[in-house]
Structures are given as C-alpha cells and as structure tokens.
C-alpha cells in the first residue's frame, strides 16, 4: 500500500503535529527505540521525566529527527509494527462534518503509516515489543496459569479417553449463531414461552439445523460475546479448557490477555469491588508495574478474552 517516496526524516516531520496529538502508548515506542539503540539510557530517563504525554511525544520526535534518517526509519518501522497500540483504533465511522474545524481530525495515522515505502527488511520487526515489559511479563504469567488450569482439567478427565474404559460418548456440532445477521446455523427459537420452560426443554431449542465447521481456534478469533449452550456433559467445559490451552500455547507477537472465571468459586469473585480487584486479586497479580498493566488492559479492551465457566 506504499505510495510515497519521501525520506523517513521528511515523512516524520510532515506528520509531527498529528503524532504529537495522537501517538499512544509512548512507553512502547521508547522501549523499542531503546532496544534498537536509537535512544540511550540517559535519553530514556529524560523522556520519562516529562510529566505530560504531550511533552514526552515532543521530546521523542525531537530526538529522533535530530538523529537523522536511520533513526526516523526505525521509528516509522516501530509505529508500523505496533500501530494497533500506538496509533489507536481505526476510524469505523466516516467523517460527516465538512467544517474547517474538523479538518485536522480527518488525518488518519493508520493510512499515513501504510503509505510509507518500507524496504524489504521484514526481519527487523521480529523482536519489537507490542507493549511494555510489565505487560508482556503479565501475559506470560496468565499463559502459565492458563496452561496449569488446562492441564489439571485434562488429567482429571483422562479416564474418559482411556481405550480400556471408553464410555459411550456423544458429540454435537459447534455452531456460532451471529445475532442480528443471517447465519447458516439458524438456531430454533421460541418467543414468550421460552423463559418459562425447564432447563432441558430450553436446551432443545438450541439444536442447530445446519452445522458449519467451527473450531476452538476459530472462537479465539471472534470479536463478539459468545454464549455457549448445550446439554450437560456435552463438552462445554472441555471446549473452554481447550481454548485456554490453545491461547497459552499460541506464540504470536500480539500482546493480548485471557481471563478465566470459574463461577463455582463465587466467594472470591463476589468480593471484588473493582476491575483491579477482579483481575489482579481473583485471577493473577502482576509482578511489576501494576498500574501500567491495568491501564493497558483498559485502553486495549479489544485484545482481551474472558472465559466464564457457569455453575452448571
């Protein structure tokens, strides 16, 4: 999508006013510039000493542009690789206002970075951090805990898959019904009487008419709230733990979080009085940078998956 032949230095200078106003997660930018040896320890300390993000961004841009073309190129590469966090969300709703006062808001940094002509140096982005070190460390802790929970579940249910003691297992297709759109599954629904029905009868109303192939890994890629329903013993809990296992084993560059809540442990959950209590006291507490991790979770809710195991 590259569409410019400007030098990296000129490209950074041309968007300075927009970068100063809209650049996010400055710690990610600074940490990666430090890892790429653009910034020294002293420069990092000077940037961190600034009280406001506006001043931090100005100092970052001043330092990068003074160092010349190579530093600006590395800066642009970092922005390109980490754009989901450093540039925020893309605009989903087009601008409708035509007044001159909204002209500045129409500058899209996502389009801007996409138009820069990068070299064929894909190896450069392998070690780039998507978040601060405390955030990555917290992700590692969550994955370790998810792996432990999943392993304990499969060990406890190992007898179910013993060849010498294999029970008569039945399976049902996993169907994702997207509410408000035409779905091939077309779940059968009842209207007013549904709420008055017994649980077994309610579950029968969700028998799929069509069953497209959907795997646990597919569910991890969805960006919607999912309610998993089915008869007792059909494998809802197994599917949940398989998703935990897949996420824990997934080796990707993106910084994301998964939180598993077992509603059978309601005493701990009900005691939580804030988001911080719910995540850090009930699930897992960061080893360092608690406030930084909490802010990253709040600002990047799109990168969070919550699995809630019901009482049944």
Residue by residue, pLDDT tens for the chain (312 residues) are: 456 678 999 999 999 999 999 998 898 899 999 989 999 999 999 999 999 999 999 999 999 999 999 999 999 999 998 888 888 765 544 444 444 444 445 689 999 999 998 887 655 545 788 878 888 889 989 999 988 888 888 888 776 656 555 555 555 566 555 554 444 444 445 445 555 666 666 655 555 555 556 777 777 777 667 777 667 777 778 888 888 888 888 876 678 888 888 877 666 677 777 888 888 888 888 988 888 888 888 888 878 888 887 655
Note whether 151 and 299 are same-domain residues.
yes
Domain count, the chain: 3
Rg of the chain's alpha carbons, rounded to an integer? Answer: 24
Note whether 139 and 274 are same-domain residues.
yes
- The number of C-alpha atoms within 13 Å of 110 and in the hemisphere containing its C-beta is 11
Note whether 183 and 43 are same-domain residues.
no
Note whether 12 and 101 are same-domain residues.
yes
Which pLDDT score is estimated for 185?
A: 47
* CA gap 222, 305 in Å, rounded: 10
* 44 occurs within a structural domain: yes
* 3 occurs within a structural domain: no
Q: How far is CA 260 from CA 47, 68, 284, in A?
A: 37, 47, 10
Note whether 266 and 144 are same-domain residues.
yes
Looking up residue 52, the CATH number of its domain turns out to be 1.10.533.10
Which pLDDT score is estimated for 93?
A: 43
Q: Is the dihedral of CA 275, 281, 283, 285 positive or negative?
A: positive
Note whether 271 and 170 are same-domain residues.
yes
* 1 occurs within a structural domain: no
Q: Nearest 5°: CA angle at 264, between 259 and 267?
A: 90
Which pLDDT score is estimated for 94?
A: 45
* 38 occurs within a structural domain: yes
Note whether 183 and 257 are same-domain residues.
no
* 21 occurs within a structural domain: yes
Note whether 203 and 250 are same-domain residues.
no
| Domain end call among 105, 125, 145 | 125
Question: How many residues does this entry show for the chain?
Answer: 312
Q: Is 45 helix (H, G, I), strand (E, B) or coil?
A: helix
* 233 occurs within a structural domain: yes
Which pLDDT score is estimated for 238?
A: 82
From the list 240, 243, 206, the residue with the least C-alpha distance to 221 is: 243
* 222 occurs within a structural domain: yes
Note whether 103 and 229 are same-domain residues.
no
| Domain end call among 191, 207, 223 | 207
Q: How far is CA 289 from CA 47, 137, 160, in A?
A: 18, 10, 42
Note whether 99 and 151 are same-domain residues.
no
Note whether 265 and 290 are same-domain residues.
yes
* CA gap 79, 227 in Å, rounded: 36
Note whether 303 and 236 are same-domain residues.
yes
Instruction: Note down the domain range covering 165.
Output: 133-174+214-309
Structure tokens at 123: 């190896």
The string of DSSP codes covering 224-249 is S-------TTSSHHHHHHHHHHHHHH
Which pLDDT score is estimated for 282?
A: 81
Structure tokens at 126: 């392998």
Residue 306: phi and psi, rounded to 5, are: -115, 125
Structure tokens at 99: 């007044």
* 69 occurs within a structural domain: yes
| Domain end call among 184, 207, 230 | 207
Own/partner pairs, 265-273, CB within 8 angstroms, 24+ separation: none
């Amino acid at each position: 999508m590259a569409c410019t032949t400007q030098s990296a230095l000129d490209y950074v200078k041309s968007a300075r006013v927009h970068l100063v106003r809209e650049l996010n997660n400055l710690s990610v930018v600074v940490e990666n510039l430090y890892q790429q040896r653009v910034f020294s320890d002293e420069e990092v300390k000077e940037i961190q000493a600034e009280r406001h993000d506006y001043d931090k961004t100005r100092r970052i841009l001043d330092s990068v542009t003074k160092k010349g073309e190579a530093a600006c190129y590395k800066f642009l590469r970092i922005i390109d690789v980490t754009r989901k966090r450093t540039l925020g969300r893309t605009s989903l709703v087009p601008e409708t206002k035509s007044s001159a006062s909204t002209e500045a808001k129409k500058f899209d940094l996502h389009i801007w970075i996409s138009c820069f002509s990068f070299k064929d140096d894909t190896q450069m982005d392998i070690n780039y951090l998507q978040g601060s070190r405390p955030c990555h460390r917290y992700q590692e802790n969550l994955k370790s805990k998810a792996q432990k929970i999943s392993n304990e579940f499969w060990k406890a249910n190992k007898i179910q898959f013993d060849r010498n003691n294999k029970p008569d297992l039945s399976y049902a297709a996993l169907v994702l019904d997207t509410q408000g759109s035409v779905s091939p599954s077309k779940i059968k629904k009842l209207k007013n009487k549904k709420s008055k029905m017994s649980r077994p009868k309610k579950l029968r109303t969700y028998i799929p008419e069509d069953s497209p192939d959907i795997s646990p890994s597919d569910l991890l890629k969805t960006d919607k709230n999912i309610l998993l329903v089915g008869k007792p013993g059909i494998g809802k809990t197994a599917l949940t733990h398989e998703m935990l296992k897949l996420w824990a084993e997934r080796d990707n560059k993106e910084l994301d979080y998964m939180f598993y809540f077992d509603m059978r442990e309601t005493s701990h959950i009900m005691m939580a009085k804030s988001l911080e209590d719910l995540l850090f006291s009930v699930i897992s507490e960061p080893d360092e940078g608690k406030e930084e991790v909490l802010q990253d979770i709040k600002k990047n809710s799109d990168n969070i998956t919550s699995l809630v195991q019901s009482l049944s």
